[in-house]
């Protein structure tokens, strides 16, 4: 939720708040964001994740990378991004 509401997302703040190493904990998700980073709307550095103004239209898609419920099989359905 933080990513969608208050960009940029700060790794140190998340790590401190949840007592985790944010970069290690979310390493697979950060790897999954590479196409967005390469295309330009997302910036990822040692401090955190930021989304350029032109990338705000894609913030939901970026946040979905971190949604653990989307990977679990379920009979429920979610709205499609597009």
DSSP class of 8: S
Q: Is residue 79 part of a domain?
A: no
* Average pLDDT for 56-75: 80
Q: In the prediction, which pLDDT does 44 show?
A: 92
Please provide the size of the chain in residues: 82
Q: Which of 49, 31, 32, 51 is nearest to 41 (CA)?
A: 51
User: What CATH number corresponds to the domain at position 44?
Assistant: 1.10.10.920
Q: Which residue is listed with tokens 């509401």?
A: 5
Residue 40 lies in a domain: yes
Residue 77 domain flag:
no
The phi-psi region of residue 10 (left if phi > 0; otherwise alpha if psi is between -120 and 50; otherwise beta) is beta
Residue pLDDT, tens place only, 6-49: 678 899 999 999 999 999 999 999 999 999 999 988 999 999 99
| The total number of structural domains that make up the chain | 1
Residue span of the structural domain in which 14 resides: 2-66
The end-to-end CA distance of the chain, in Å, is 20
**pTM for this predicted structure:** 0.77
Q: Is residue 80 part of a domain?
A: no
């Amino acid at each position: 939720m933080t990513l969608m509401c208050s960009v940029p997302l700060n790794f140190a703040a998340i790590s401190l708040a949840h007592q985790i190493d944010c970069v290690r904990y979310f390493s697979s998700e950060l790897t999954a964001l590479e196409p967005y980073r390469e295309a330009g709307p997302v910036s990822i550095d040692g401090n955190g994740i930021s989304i350029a103004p032109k990338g705000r239209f894609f913030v939901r898609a970026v946040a979905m990378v971190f949604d653990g419920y989307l990977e679990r099989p379920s009979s429920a359905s979610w709205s499609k991004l597009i």
